[in-house]
A and B are shown apart, each in its own frame.
Chain A
Amino acid sequence: MAARSITLSAEVSQPIGTTLHDWVVTVDHKKLGILYILYALVFLLIGGIEATIVRVQLMVPNNHFVSPQVFNRMFTMHGTTMIFFVAMPILFGFANYLIPLMIGTRDMAFPRLNAWSFWLTAFGGLLLYFSFIGGNGLYGAGNAPDVGWFAYAPLTATTFSLGHSTDFWTLGLLVSGFGSIGTAINILATIICLRCPGMTLGKMPLLAWMNLVTAAMVLLAISPLTAAQIMLSLDRFLGGHFFDTQAGGSAVLWMHFFWIFGHPEVYVLVLPAFAFASEIIPVFSRKPIFGYPVMVAATIAIGFVGFSVWAHHMFTVGMNSYANSFFTITTMVIGIPTGIKIFNWIGTMWGGKIAFKTPMLFCIAFLFQFLIAGLTGIMLSAAPFDWQLGNSYFVVAHFHYVIVGGILFTLFAAFYYWFPKMSGRMYNETLGKWHFWLFLIGFHLTFDFMHIPGLLGMPRRIYTYEAGRGWDIWNLICTIGVFFQIVATLLFIGSLLWSYFNGKAAGNDPWDAWTLEWSTSSPPTEYNFAQIPVVKSRRPLWDIKHPEDPDWKYE
């Protein structure tokens, strides 16, 4: 085929050492974006293996596939890895790659800060995983962290966590947290200061808007975690008493500090997912986004309300009735802007000429799944309901519905949608559809049925269980679903690799899309734009393609 003879870029002909060196010292936002994404994919596989071990252990009653100690390490490392070293870096990767292209500039505001942030994140992950080797410390006790991903006190006290396992957890998150703050500063400065001429805030692509709010949330959400980690380090290394109940310290204070980070973090992860959906759904519905100003307002509303809901993670801890009422109400309120968004996406699809390509399939599944995730969220927001089901598998099913059914599905959509831009090649549509359907089946087998043992009283983080409680069949189904997901994920990585080497040339604009990244070559040159574009509407490429009927006449 003619397509096979194209060379992707000049660097193919360089010696491998030079290419590698280029990637290590790069400050280019596109290369750093791809580094973030590849790094996160490696950790996705590692975190997936850990999840599989957890699920196999729970597959049948009285199972001893791994020891209780290993089980504790696996669920701790699975949660920590997936949030901090998969979801965050992969979303930062897409933000890094896409934002400068979409707002028509040549790089991020602080390219070197960008590289610095990436390497901090990367080494933070290595530090966490070094615990498998170095967690022993001098006591010969300790391994990978086993305190759960929210590491409640006093489990993290030196008395209960010997060796250095918790120290690696703390320092790994502290280091990668600085990286996240650096990236957030960079994203804010880029979007505020480097938009191309004509791109007022009201003409910015929604992806940029949502990442702007996300970056602001990262600044205010990751920092409390950083502060709490510093306190925990002071406790563990210098004998402080912040979370030491023996000396008057408070274990509940750690919970507050952790969840002041922990809940906004959910929105930090889900807003970029919304951003992908807001770019992909219009293109495959052949209509502009429905209700752009309302989408922006809803995003900002989520940004504000997201900071006032954290203690709904603590209903079972025991708070006074004012706190319970407050956090119940705010948690229910945040469903409103989120619901508005779902209506807007449906409004965008309504009457559109929908093309059911792989990215769109993932987005449609996301709409349904995120709706269900939101509904179980509203159920759990009611404090009395949460007293019954808090810390049960119902909660586990709920937040995996958000993170896998919502965030991961849109991430897959984003991969397929922007793969032609990043690699210059089209992905394989057949393999993409196989990936979609297998993953959809696996996801629903695992996480639909996971609600039921939760309702029947199965607590989360339980090592094993007796037969005959009515949990057996549901756990078996959940674990069977995992294997569908594994096959689908391997298919996904295989299909991207295959397409990278054998895919058809994509051209600049395979989707007939409307945002600025599609006006550059695929993959874009290092300077992105030979000439900085000037825009007049939210869909600059539509204006160019349809000079007789441009958008700016109507906006």
Chain B
Amino acid sequence: MNSQAILLSSSSPELVWKLPSRGHVGMLSLIAAELAIFTIFVVAYLFYIGKSLTGPMPKNVLEVPIFATICLLSSSWTIHVAVKALQNGRLRTFGAWWFVTMSLGFIFLVETGREWHHLIFEKGLTISTNLFGTTYYSLVGLHAFHVVVGLIGIAIAMILILLGKVKKEHSERADVFSLYWHFVDVVWIVVFTVVYIIGR
């Protein structure tokens, strides 16, 4: 929503009362809470590295998901371009980049699914196998869950775009949503570092 702008008083008409938009503040607050949740999961992951009593161990089964990471991180850039286009009223460009963002997020999710399928059915690693399995599936799964939530949001917006309902005046909402998507990407950098570099 628009931030309120009210004249302060008749004696000083040049002074305008302007406060931050509630959408941005609300989203940043949500991100703060989410970061606290992720911090606890990351701490648990780091704490349990190398403490599994039985195999499989990370170094034997994990492969670094470079392609998926490139897809997810570049989607942060595409959503930024999309929002900028909407702010300038270039609706077609916006729709195109929004679609690219959705596709990149979807590819990431498919790659995660392939990785999990490989681990479960070929390597025999499940959430109850050992501590590595417990911490790995919960941390990566928590992140993937956030990607799913983000993709649902992006898909709903995509439907509205195709129906022609998204206009320039919605650019603030798109901007607020893009904060969430950037957050999901930044968290992936942390998860990637912890799981595939430090933990391996």
Contact = CB atoms under 8 A, between A and B. Distances in A.
A117 interface: no
A293 interface: no
Nearest to B19: A193
A235 B26 CA distance: 32
B20 A230 contact: no
Contacts of B142: 230
Given A188-B29, A219-B29, A110 B34 contact: no
A257 B43 CA distance: 10
A240 B128 contact: yes
B77 interface: no
A248 B51 contact: yes
Contacts of B22: 109-110, 189-190, 192-194
B33 A248 contact: no
A230 B139 CA distance: 11
B127 interface: yes
A33 to B, nearest CB: 19
Interface stretch (A124-132, A220-228, A319-327, A365-373): A220-228
Given A184-B29, A248-B52, A223 B34 contact: yes
Interface of B: 3-4, 6-9, 17, 19-22, 25-26, 29-30, 32-34, 36-41, 44, 47-48, 51-53, 127-128, 130-131, 134-135, 138, 142
Contact of B30 (A185, A197, A231): A185
A239 B6 contact: no
A467 interface: no
Contact of A192 (B7, B20, B34, B131): B20
A456 interface: no
11 contacts: A181-B30, A184-B33, A193-B3, A193-B25, A219-B33, A224-B40, A230-B37, A241-B131, A242-B44, A247-B131, A248-B52
A162 B22 CA distance: 46
Interface in A382-398: none
Nearest to A235: B134
Contacts of A219: 29, 32-33, 36
Contacts, number: 120
Top-8 shortest CB links A-B: A239-B128, A223-B36, A227-B40, A197-B17, A240-B134, A109-B22, A193-B22, A185-B29
Nearest to A224: B40
Nearest to A190: B22
B103 to A, nearest CB: 30
Given A189-B22, A197-B8, A238 B127 contact: yes
Contacts of B138: 230-231, 234, 240, 242
A188 B7 CA distance: 24
B130 A241 contact: yes
B12 to A, nearest CB: 11
Given A198-B8, A198-B9, A223-B40, 5 more contacts: A110-B22, A193-B21, A194-B4, A242-B134, A532-B6
B20 A193 contact: yes
A228 B26 contact: no
Contacts of A193: 3, 19-22, 25
Given A224-B40, A242-B134, A192 B9 contact: no
Contacts of A222: 33
A257 B41 CA distance: 10
Nearest to B3: A193
A30 interface: no
Contacts of A248: 48, 51-53, 130-131
Nearest to A252: B47
Q: Which of B17, B33, B41 has the most CB of A within 10 A?
A: B33
A242 B29 CA distance: 28
Nearest to B38: A227
A231 B38 CA distance: 12
Interface in A180-204: 181, 184-186, 188-190, 192-195, 197-198
Contact of A224 (B36, B128, B135): B36
B10 to A, nearest CB: 10
